[in-house]
Structure 1
Amino acid sequence: MSDRKISSAAVFPDISVKSADNTDVLLGQRQSESSWKMVVVYRGKHCPICTKYLNELENYKQRLADMDVELVAVSADSSEQLNEHKEQLEVSFALYHSLSIEQMQTLGVYISQPRSAKETDHPFAEPALFIINGDGRIQIVDIANAPFSRPDPEILVSGLEFIRDPENDYPIRGTYS
């Protein structure tokens, strides 16, 4: 991994990835009317823990939408790998592919080499999660180096409900330097 670390409160970088239909999409740009966005970086179709996590997130999509938060997920998989993975997924949120090594480094995520060709055929990002606020800044960042180290969806979404409540006036945390 590069020693670059993306900071909370930073503007989310301009990163172009591919949608499921191979259209170019700016990862941090909202594709809906939502004012906030959750970007989930996952390892790829080879990871059963990722499949389980993405399927679990589907259960929170409506709560996120009710808070005006768009949910998407992205991996370094190819279009073909994403299409194969969609057969195991039960999600209605947008899935993106073709995250490059340079883009992973820009995001500051951990990058792993496959253990064998049986696992996958390319370096891949370890899990990460970015919550982008209405100003395009990173409100929350979570970067892990293993597939079983991710935020619990219930705790995450409950926390977002607290943050999104205007009465709480909750700032971006982790900005002291």
Structure 2
Amino acid sequence: MAHSVKLKAGDAFPNISATLPNDNTVLLSQPQEGMTWQAIFVYRGKHCPLCTKYLNELETYKQAFSDAGVGIIAVSADSKAQLQEHMEKLDISFPIAYGLTQAQMQLLGVYISVPRSEQETDHNFAEPGLFIVNEHGDLHVVDISNNPFVRPELGALTRGLAWIRDPDNHYPIRGTLNY
């Protein structure tokens, strides 16, 4: 059985690009203008109502992320057409990208699911993952799940990021001991 390789806390985040709805390519780890860190939210796709709810909730925390100096982007393995359909149910202003490949999902170490039917979706897709990349391009916070029911609570996450980013706290990257 093949083993999934997980990114480790403190690792350099891989150079992974995806495509924005306007056809521009974006480097997922590149902080947005004025931000020094980047939060990358990997979501399942338009077929997932919990993803739609989470992405819309994420919009309400955009300012809290910004206050902590953290840009946000969401990405899935959906096609452009699927993302365009999904945008009709989303009320977001942060960047969202499509076209994550299976090789990219494997590089990220997210769990990958096979669709239950053609009605669900037409491609293998990533289960939820969150990767927060610091100003050095390193993975500072990571959270991956094998199903859509387990994701970081956004209020706790933004409060935690503000605390981590406060220089008075001297908070290192956690979970770096490899054995």
Report the TM range for the smaller structure's normalisation: over 0.9
Q: Which moved more, 1:38-47 or 1:20-29?
A: 20-29
Q: Do 1:2 and 1:105's aligned partners in 2 also have CA atoms closer than 8 Å?
A: no
- The answer to whether 1:163 aligns with 2:164 is yes
- The answer to whether 1:44 aligns with 2:45 is yes
TM-score normalised over the length of structure 2? 0.96
Distance 1:13 1:29 in 2: 11
CA RMSD of aligned residues (A): 0.9
**Structure 1 residue 24, shift from structure 2 partner:** 1.4
Distance 1:166 1:75 in 2: 33
Structure 2 gaps of 5+ residues are: none
Q: After superposition, where does 1:38-117 map in structure 2 within 5 Å?
A: 38-117=39-118
Q: Do 1:2 and 1:108's aligned partners in 2 also have CA atoms closer than 8 Å?
A: no
Secondary structure at 2:19 match in 1: strand
Aligned residues: 177
Structure 1 gaps of 5+ residues are: none
Secondary structure at 1:148 match in 2: coil
Q: After superposition, where does 1:117-136 map in structure 2 within 5 Å?
A: 117-136=118-137
Q: Which moved more, 1:122-131 or 1:14-23?
A: 14-23
Partner in structure 1 of residue 150 of structure 2:
149
Alpha-carbon distance change, 132 to 102 in structure 1, aligned in 2, over 3 angstroms: same
TM-score normalised over the length of structure 1? 0.98
Distance 2:154 2:122 in 1: 29
Q: Percent identity?
A: 54
After superposition, give the CA deviation of every residue in 1:72-128 in whole Å (9 maximum; x if it has no partner): 100000001001000000110000000000000000000001000100000000000
Secondary structure at 1:142 match in 2: strand
